[in-house]
């Protein structure tokens, strides 16, 4: 799907506040409500809009610790990879999970209440899968998080 400046503006506005009404979005983009609705439907159908979510303040939920775990695979088989993915998908404290290049193979972002809850999560992940190395990085201060995706034109 080719995005024009109006589609990009819709995406930027939705990332700022996805609860905006179609009337508000139409006013912000200079479209009629019907034209705005059609564009939103096209963005959904194309898969560019995947879903609508709420950004929750983790501190208000008592989730004050963020940790990045870097994992080095113990072996490189499809079965091992599937096992790791299964463990991680059952671990709600893991909010982001990446296979990466470089010195390590996987990067996990965990959000927990405190050191004790992190340690329990760490054990849950590491006790059930063979790993060559694990390095953890504890976040001291969050400077920016969950930033909107850049939707600027080319």
With beta carbons less than 8 A apart as the criterion, state whether 7 and 39 touch: yes
Q: Which residue has the tokens 């995706």?
A: 149
Count of Cβ atoms closer than 10 Å to residue 5 Cβ: 11
Cα separation, 133 vs 126, whole angstroms:
10
Helices assigned H by DSSP within 17-150: 22-29, 33-45, 78-89, 115-126
**pLDDT tens digits, one per residue of 7-30:** 999 999 999 999 999 999 999 999
pLDDT category of residue 1 using cuts at 50, 70 and 90: confident
Stated pTM of the model: 0.86
Mean pLDDT (whole number) for 141-148:
90
- Two tokens at 98? 């990446």
């Amino acid at each position: 799907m080719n995005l024009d400046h109006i589609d990009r503006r819709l995406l930027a506005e939705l990332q700022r506040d996805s609860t905006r009404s179609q009337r508000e979005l139409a006013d912000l983009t200079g479209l009629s409500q019907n034209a705005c609705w059609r564009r939103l439907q096209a963005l959904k159908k194309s898969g560019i809009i995947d879903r609508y979510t709420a950004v929750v303040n983790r501190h208000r939920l008592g989730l004050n610790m963020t940790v990045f775990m870097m994992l080095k695979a113990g072996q490189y088989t499809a079965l091992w990879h599937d096992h790791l993915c299964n463990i991680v998908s059952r671990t709600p404290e893991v909010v982001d999970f990446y296979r990466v290049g470089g010195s390590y193979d996987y990067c996990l972002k965990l959000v927990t209440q405190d050191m004790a809850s992190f340690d329990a999560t760490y054990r849950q992940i590491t006790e059930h899968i063979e790993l060559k190395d694990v390095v953890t990085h504890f976040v001291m201060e969050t400077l920016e998080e969950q930033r909107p995706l850049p939707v600027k034109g080319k």
